[in-house]
């Protein structure tokens, strides 16, 4: 049986297993590092750094789930999607990360409020802009939280700082209530390369079931 069929079957099986787990459980074992950490799925040998390393150095279709997350919700969704697709995970992190007080949008003097008020402050230095072996990925899922109706701006630096030529890009976001709106097409415009699809919004505390269903549907 061709390797591609094996992979599809694996994805379906894994999606079923993930459906039984709440997203919060899946976060318990996940790392903040740029590559996949020690999630429950990793322990089972289904999604792992070793898989990633092996396929990164080889050929074949490759998916990367890149995400920015300030308080963990988008991270959980990204992890669930990466597990469901046996994809690699890349966390977009800032050279100067936000602390809790920085994220207080009720305080007009907080860092995030100031950045919101003054667009010139929203260009931020990323700890790392380009994931390792980025050229090897043909599909990139790009996740971020919605801030004041738009994508959290560290996403902008990732979009503008990378070459998506030849890649399929699928945005997704988490939010308390706002829709994804124009955030995906704004990122596409900033990137200027790649084939960007319409994005999907998840509630902040969505289920692993919902994420796995969505992720698997992308490859069907
Ligand atoms: C600075 C800031 C602004 C936000 N603005 C919105 C908003 O406009 N609409 C909304 O529905 N949620 C908003 N939220 C809530 C986040 O989108 C939501 O909690 C998201 O799931 C957080 O993802 P994260 O945990 O990955 O950072 C905001 C949160 C923060 C910190």
Choose among 218, 212, 216: nearest CA to 77.
Answer: 212
Cα-to-centroid distance, 6 and ligand 1 (Å): 38
Confirm if 202 and 75 have CB atoms less than 8 A apart.
Answer: no
CA gap 124, 134 in Å, rounded: 21
Report the SS3 class of residue 162.
coil
Confirm if 164 and 191 have CB atoms less than 8 A apart.
Answer: yes
Read off the pLDDT band of 2 (50, 70, 90). very low
Using a 6 Å cutoff on CB, does residue 207 contact ligand 1? no
In this prediction, residue 74 carries a pLDDT of: 98
Using a 6 Å cutoff on CB, does residue 55 contact ligand 1? no
Cα-to-centroid distance, 73 and ligand 1 (Å): 9
Which pair of tokens denotes residue 195? 């084939």
Residues β-bridged to residue 139: 63, 168
CA gap 120, 118 in Å, rounded: 5
- List, for residues 126-180, the tens digit of each pLDDT value: 999 999 999 999 999 999 999 999 999 999 999 999 999 999 999 999 999 999 9
CA gap 104, 3 in Å, rounded: 48
Using a 6 Å cutoff on CB, does residue 103 contact ligand 1? yes
Using a 6 Å cutoff on CB, does residue 147 contact ligand 1? yes
Nearest CA to ligand 1 atom 5: 147
- List, for residues 10-55, the tens digit of each pLDDT value: 344 333 333 334 444 444 333 333 222 232 223 223 333 334 443 4
CA gap 56, 135 in Å, rounded: 10
Nearest CA to ligand 1 atom 17: 175
Nearest CA to ligand 1 atom 27: 70
Q: Which atom of ligand 1 is nearest to the CA of 150?
A: 8
Q: Strands 139-147 and 150-151, how do they pair?
A: antiparallel
Using a 6 Å cutoff on CB, does residue 79 contact ligand 1? no
Mean pLDDT confidence for 56-74: 81
Residues β-bridged to residue 63: 139
């Amino acid at each position: 049986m061709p390797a591609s069929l094996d992979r599809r079957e694996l994805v379906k099986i894994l999606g079923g297993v993930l459906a039984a787990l709440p997203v919060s459980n899946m976060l318990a074992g996940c790392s903040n590092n740029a590559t996949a950490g020690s999630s429950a799925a990793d322990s089972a040998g289904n999604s792992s750094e070793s898989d990633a390393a092996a396929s990164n150095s080889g050929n074949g279709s490759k998916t990367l789930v890149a995400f920015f997350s300030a308080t963990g919700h988008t991270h959980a969704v990204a992890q669930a999607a990466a597990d469901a697709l046996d994809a690699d995970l890349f966390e977009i992190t800032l050279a100067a990360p936000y602390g809790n007080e920085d994220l207080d949008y009720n305080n007009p003097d907080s860092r995030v409020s100031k950045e919101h008020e003054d667009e010139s402050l929203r260009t931020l230095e990323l700890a790392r802009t380009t994931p390792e072996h980025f050229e090897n990925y043909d599909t990139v899922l790009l996740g971020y939280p919605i801030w004041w109706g738009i994508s959290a701006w560290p996403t902008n630096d990732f979009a503008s700082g990378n070459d998506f030529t030849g890649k399929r890009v699928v945005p997704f976001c988490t939010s308390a209530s706002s829709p994804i709106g124009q955030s995906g097409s704004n990122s596409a415009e900033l990137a200027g390369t790649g084939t960007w699809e319409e994005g999907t919004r998840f509630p902040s505390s969505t289920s692993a079931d919902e994420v796995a269903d969505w992720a698997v549907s992308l490859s069907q």
